[in-house]
Structure 1
Amino acid sequence: MMTANTIWLGIGFLGQLLFTSRFLVQWIASERARRSIVPLAFWWFSLAGGATLLAYAIWRRDPVFAIGQASGLVIYIRNLMLIGRAPRLEKPA
C-alpha cells in the first residue's frame, strides 16, 4: 500500500530529476553548438522541476527549501517571459 509519505518522496525525486535534466539539456545543446548556450528547454525544465520541488518542500514544511525554490520560480518565469517577448529572427527562405 502506498502511503502519503511514499507518494511525496516520489514527487520529490521527480522534481529533482526534472531539475537535473535542465543541466543535461544545456550541456548537450552547448556541445552541439560548440559554444555555451542556454536553450528554451532549460527554462522549462527549471520551471517544472522548481515547481515540483516547491510542492515537496511545502509538504515537508521546510521553509528554507520552499523559499529557495519559490525564488527560483520567479527567475524562471521571468526568463520565459523575456524569451516570449523577444523579436523573432526570421530564417532566410
Structure 2
Amino acid sequence: MRILTPTESLSKPKDDEVVFFTDVLLQGVRLPLQLAVQRILAQIGYALGQYNPNFWVALIGVIAVFNIAEEGEPSYEQFSYLYSITRSKSADHGGWV
C-alpha cells in the first residue's frame, strides 16, 4: 500500500496496482475485504476505486444492520433491493459508481 506522488494520476494506476481511497477506510472497510463485501462487489463487477465514498457508507451500513439484526450477511440481491447501482454520468466523476 502506498500514497500517490503528486505527478501520478488516480485514473492511471500501474498494471499491478489498484486504486483504493483512504476515506473508504474511515467508513469501516478493512483489508482484506470482509467476505460480505467481496461477494457483493463480485456481483457488481467494478474496480474498488470506482465506488464513491457514499457507496461504501451504504454498503457497510447495510452489512452492519444485518449484523445487528442477526440476519447474517446480506446478499447482492438484498443490497440491490435497497440501493440501485448506476455509473456516474457526471464528467467530473470519471466513471465512479
TM-score, structure 2 as length reference: 0.30
| Structure that is richer in helix per residue | 1
**Rg comparison, structure with higher value:** 1
